[in-house]
Structure 1
Amino acid sequence: MDIIEYRTYCLSFPGVTEGFPFDEQTLVFKVKGKMFSATDVDTFELVNVKCDPVKAIDLRERYSFVIPGYHMNKKHWNSIKMDEAVPDHLLKEWISDSYRLVVDKLPKKTQKELQQL
């Protein structure tokens, strides 16, 4: 997956916005103001995704390209090293999981609004 495919996939979810809240290089994807993924637009070296803490550890043990979240809470975030051969279906699964984790923490009313989009 390249950065254009990554961006397109992240934007395919209901209610997603993109922006550069930290600096001019870090592209962040949010749902209702809550971040679920980020990457460096200049290098596309790492993709950060939110992850269930138990699953995060399992993924780090199973895949050499999954590491604790760079500049993130390492309990809840993983970084995927894009310089290795990361299967697209896995990256998409992890992005989807990240989006769902964030949506599940939103108020029920907001969740229903997203379902209608």
Structure 2
Amino acid sequence: MDIEYLRDYCLSKSGTTEDFPFDKNTLVFKVVGKMFALAPLDQWEKGLASINLKANPEYALELRAAYESIQPGFHMNKKHWNTLDIYKGELSPKLIMALIDHSYDMVVKGMTKKKRQELNL
């Protein structure tokens, strides 16, 4: 999985935008202004591809126990965010996309009914 594939997948989700709110290296994907994925581009360029994704707290713990490549979110709330070390090769593209979906869904679930209707979900 390369950064362009990941970017295209994230942007295919309803209401998603991309931004660099923190610095010129951290690509952030948001749905209606709320973050659901962060990718440090400088790490991807070095061959150390990773992504931070939101997760249900219980599920986040399960994932960390099941996969060495999933750790508590780097520079994020460790209860709600995981960092996926994609470069290690342990995580399949199918699993990564499912975890992106989960992160997106978690953010959308926390929105008001009106905002969810704006997304046509």
Tell me the alpha carbon deviations over residues 54-110 of structure 1, each in whole angstroms, 9 at most, x when there is no partner: 000000000010000000000000000021112000000000000000001111011
2:41 pairs with 1:72: no
Q: For 2:4 and 2:42, how far apart are their aligned partners in 1?
A: 12
TM-superposed deviation, 1:10: 0.3
Counterpart secondary structure, 1:39 = strand
Q: For 2:119 and 2:18, how far apart are their aligned partners in 1?
A: 16
Identical positions, percent: 46
Unaligned residue ranges in structure 2 (runs of 5+): none
Runs of 4+ deviating beyond 3 Å: none
TM score, norm. by length of structure 2: 0.93
Unaligned residue ranges in structure 1 (runs of 5+): none
Counterpart secondary structure, 2:74 = coil
Q: For 2:13 and 2:94, how far apart are their aligned partners in 1?
A: 16
Aligned partner (choices 102, 106, 119) of residue 114 of structure 1 = 119
Q: Give aligned pairs, total.
A: 116
Alignment correspondent of 1:50: 54
Tell which deviates more after alignment, 6-15 or 41-50. 41-50
